Amino acid sequence: MLDYVKMKDEDGLEPWPSMEELPFVNTIEGNPVHTGRFDVGGFGMRTMIGVWECTPGKFEYTYPGDEMCTLIKGKIQLLCENGEIHNYSSGDTFYTRKNEVATWTVIETVRKIFSIHDPDSDNLSH
């Protein structure tokens, strides 16, 4: 069992590839830097679960899989493809589908617990 009540504030977040290196991210404004930790799986795997943190900035993100996440720190604004704007802060949970595109504006450094499932990936996490 992964108990994120206990694990959410654990250290172990490591630098992730820069936003420019990731094919599903396009930086629009600022210089957002992200770190993270995979507790299950890893980049490109069918199941990816862990903790992610990002400094302020603005970027377009194409979701690499179906994702449910809960913010545990910070504030963001998401602009969806259909023009809807969502404001989220610590304690909020939201779900997105694979290939959805959203523009993230990180207002205050954000930390989230995430669970991503990519049904099309052949790389199993276990």
Tens of pLDDT, residue by residue over 77-102, are 999 999 999 999 999 999 999 999 99
Q: Angle at Cα 98 formed by Cα 15 and Cα 100, nearest 5°?
A: 90
* 5-63 per-position pLDDT tens digit: 877 666 789 999 999 999 999 999 999 999 999 999 988 889 999 999 999 999 999 99
Give the DSSP H/E element, type plus range, for residue 7: helix 4-7
- Structural domains of the chain ordered from first start: 23-117 (2.60.120.10)
* pTM more than 0.85: yes
